Structure 1
Amino acid sequence: MHPEIDNPARAISLKVSSVFLFVIMASLIKVASEEVPPGEAVFFRSLFAIPVIVAWLASRGELKTGFRTTSVRAHVFRGLIGTSAMALSFAGLAILPLYEVKAIQYASPLFVVVLAALMLGEKVRKVRLTAVFMGLIGVLIVLWPRLTAFTDGSADEKLAFGAMVVLSGSLCAAFAQIHVRRMVETEQTAAIVFWFSLTATMLALLTLPFGWAVPSPRAAVMLIGAGLIGGVGQILLTSAYRFADTGVIAPFEYASMLFAVGIGYTVFSEVPTAQQMVGAAVVIAAGVLIILRERQLKLQRGKARQIVTKYG
């Protein structure tokens, strides 16, 4: 294996660092959402990530690659789905505790498995199917206190709505991942990263007539910081996959729950219930099972290719 690829310790450190930065970014958005609507938050998050991404591409000599594309339509469509996911996530952050938003967002990899079967024709065998059902049960455990608010007419209907918003965002994020799987066949990673930030910025501007607010200096600093930190987090995440396979890195995504619980408790005085933590643990276990299964299948496919190459 190439020495740059075979460096799991570096890959994991980059992944965990990116996860931590994304939780910090979400925390900043949560604070700023007290003053600005989700569309405005998406604008700041996307706009101020662009200079960071451009500087990174320039340092790697990939600036021309970042601008080059073979399908503008594909990037626009990816922007529409990804921006919707981001806006719904930010809307949920304004309503729900930070840790709960993260727990619900863990449903996204489960949706990816289902959508890959429906849209890409991928086979879903017993292990992954079991993991999906297990994960959905975990999501239901997390959501159940919110769902009952719709039926008993309690004052928590706003929280229930917030949970549905975040879940919808997770579904949009899954659609975006499926679309990116198709895009990587013809588009460079640098182009996908750059054009998404630019497209999201432009799409967010369309929400301007729907009630943007002039942020206070404190909120403006939070929003700009979220954009810059989000850009750095994206770079660290992208870089992590240069040093190890997905199967090695992906499970560390779930470190975000530890960060979210810690920051939520320290900054927002949020304390998760036992039921929510149990549900989150079930979803995490299902996600790790899917990741391990994907890694096993990848190894099997690799061995099959070696056999075909050697004896075919």
Structure 2
Amino acid sequence: MSDRPVAAWPGPDGEAPPVLVGMTPAAASGLNIMIIIGAVGLFAVADVFAKFLTHDTAPAQVVWVRYVAMLALGLVVAADRGRWVWRVRRPLLQGGRGLAVLMSGGLFILGLGPLPLPEATAVSFVTPIFVTMMAILFLHETVARRRWTALLIGLAGILVLLRPGGALFSTAVLFPLGSAFFGAAAIILTRRIGEEDAPATTLLCSALIGFVVLSATAPLWFAPMGPVALAAAAAMGLCYAVGQLLLVAAYGRGEASLLAPFSYAQVIFAALLAGLVFGWTPDGPGALGMGLVVLSGVYILHREGMLARLRFKGMSVRRARRRAAL
């Protein structure tokens, strides 16, 4: 089993460097936690600009702008790490992962149009739930009582948030759910890649694949953007790129498994910004549903990270699970 944790995915808007638990032994400091919170805050701001752009700009064009920022980051990392970054040992898995990341980001942008920003963000943050389910099916991992309880709580939160038969329950919710599904698939593929390709290689491959695919289809959706849309696109790309750089800095200095649960602060930022910019206010069931999703995801990330750290210390999988009381 790979030591790459669920914690390697911070959410729908940013692809954190797939850092191995234990690559840096120092525990996450308060500064690193603040950096993570700042990063996901920037992702939430980028989502506000993205939602504004989806009114008059094709979703594929909005995603393409984000990939420009992501590719720029990948090239910066590649220039810093040297030519070995371009050595790809698992091209098929990298290709599948790149397409999964593209689908995850694209579906989330599609969901931003018809759905309120906080609900779309919260629904897409069920990624750890899908990861756990896929790990059981494809990686043959075992899940004990506490994580099953967290899974059920998260699923209950989704049902409370969407309220089948209510106003929010529509086909549009399939977009953020699909985003979470493909995000989970990307994590599973990352685990399958393991240590055969460097994290910087994985980051660069995903950026290149998404950029090339979208650029190849540009004649189908590209349209000139006015000054206001260009300014919004530039602001979105800048927030996205700076947020990614902050993630690189934080995950490079602290333990991914300890830092990743703080990515759920993005749901809080999304709610605050939606209230300020769009006048959105949550009702009781909506707030309860988002809270249950956040609680479930944070717990799953925490337990997964604890297990991964114990495995890194040399414990067997069975002993680590017993020690972590999974």
TM-score range, shorter chain: 0.7 to 0.9
Deviation at 1:205, TM superposition (A): 2.6
What does the per-residue CA deviation read over 1:253-278, in whole Å, with 9 as the maximum and x for residues that have no partner? 11112211111111111112211110
Q: 2:55 pairs with 17, 34, 39, which one? A: 34
The secondary structure found in structure 1 opposite 2:253 is: coil
1:106-255 superposed matches below 5 A? 106-144=125-163, 147-148=164-165, 156=167, 160-255=170-265
Deviation at 1:32, TM superposition (A): 0.8
**Residue 43 of structure 1 pairs with residue 64 of structure 2:** yes
Deviation at 1:6, TM superposition (A): 3.7
The secondary structure found in structure 1 opposite 2:56 is: coil
Unaligned runs of 5+ in 2: 1-21, 317-326
Distance 1:78 1:246, change over 3 A: same
Counterpart of 2:90 in structure 1 is 71
Deviation at 1:215, TM superposition (A): 1.8
**Residue 291 of structure 1 pairs with residue 291 of structure 2:** no
| Aligned equivalents of 1:202, 1:257: Cα separation in 2 | 30
Give the aligned residue type for 1:148: G
| Aligned equivalents of 1:51, 1:302: Cα separation in 2 | 33
| Aligned equivalents of 2:133, 2:25: Cα separation in 1 | 33
Distance 1:70 1:225, change over 3 A: farther
Structure number with higher helix proportion: 1
Q: Is the 8 A contact 2:73 2:244 kept in 1?
A: no
Q: Is the 8 A contact 1:52 1:228 kept in 2?
A: no
**Residue 260 of structure 1 pairs with residue 239 of structure 2:** no
Distance 1:223 1:297, change over 3 A: same
| Aligned equivalents of 2:70, 2:306: Cα separation in 1 | 35
What does the per-residue CA deviation read over 1:71-119, in whole Å, with 9 as the maximum and x for residues that have no partner? 3322221111111111100000111111111110121111101101111
Q: Is the 8 A contact 1:127 1:293 kept in 2?
A: no
What does the per-residue CA deviation read over 1:184-216, in whole Å, with 9 as the maximum and x for residues that have no partner? 321111111122112111112344344433222
What does the per-residue CA deviation read over 1:138-173, in whole Å, with 9 as the maximum and x for residues that have no partner? 0111111xx315xxxxxx58x712212111111111
Give the aligned residue type for 2:254: A
| Aligned equivalents of 2:202, 2:196: Cα separation in 1 | 10
Unaligned runs of 5+ in 1: 150-155, 307-312
Q: How many residues align?
A: 295
Give the aligned residue type for 1:184: G
Q: 1:22 pairs with 17, 40, 43, which one? A: 43
| Aligned equivalents of 1:232, 1:116: Cα separation in 2 | 31
Give the aligned residue type for 1:34: H
| Aligned equivalents of 2:293, 2:278: Cα separation in 1 | 24
| Aligned equivalents of 2:83, 2:155: Cα separation in 1 | 42
| Aligned equivalents of 2:99, 2:313: Cα separation in 1 | 38
Counterpart of 1:277 in structure 2 is 287
Q: Is the 8 A contact 1:81 1:175 kept in 2?
A: yes
Identity %: 27
Superposition CA RMSD, Å:
2.3
Moved more, 33-42 or 244-253: 244-253
